[in-house]
Amino acid sequence: MPHHILIVEDHSLMRNMMTEYVDSLPDLQVCGSVATAEEALAFLPGQAELVLVDISLPAMSGIDLIRTIKVRWPHLKCLVCSGHDEASYVERALDAGAEGYVAKGSPAELTNALQCLRDGESYLSTSLHKLVENSEPPHHG
């Protein structure tokens, strides 16, 4: 039985490419794709078990969307797929409740992340994990 994914991406070309790509993966199926956080909230919870979210969305940001999803539907998993690869974005998304974060442009990373979240694990790409680790102040004690 496939896991159903809602894609939230404001650029139509990227949204279409992501939809085609995710639909090509085993055990994953796109159940909807929308351009705004507001459209995502109107769609949810629906069939979606996982929400693939861009950070930069018109009006409500992807981080605010994740925060809202986690309040309304805590069982839904959220994976950020964003062009923002700065540590502050990653940390804010994870603090909002995202189970994973990948940079756009790496289909292999996206595949790994989707499979990890489907299997109940969290995911942070190696490069972003190092970035977040390096941004934290050293702990003393």
Q: pLDDT, tens digit, for every residue of 22-47?
A: 999 988 999 999 999 999 999 998 89
Burial class (CB in 10 A: 0-12, 13-18, 19+), 136: exposed
Higher pLDDT, 137 or 46: 46
Q: Using one digit for the tens of pLDDT, what is the confidence trace for 72-122? A: 999 999 999 998 878 889 999 999 999 999 988 888 899 999 999 999 999
Task: For residue 45, give every residue at least 6 positions away whose Cβ sits within 8 Å of its Cβ, in sequence order, or none.
Answer: 72, 73, 76
- Structural domains in the chain, sorted by start: 3-135 (3.40.50.2300)
The whole-number pLDDT of residue 42 equals 96
Is residue 42 within 8 A of residue 69, CB to CB? The reply is: no
Arithmetic mean of pLDDT over the chain? 90
d(CA 131, CA 115) in angstroms, rounded, equals: 22
Task: State the distance between the two ends of the chain, measured CA to CA, in whole angstroms.
Answer: 49
Is residue 58 within 8 A of residue 10, CB to CB? The reply is: yes
pLDDT at 130 over 70: no
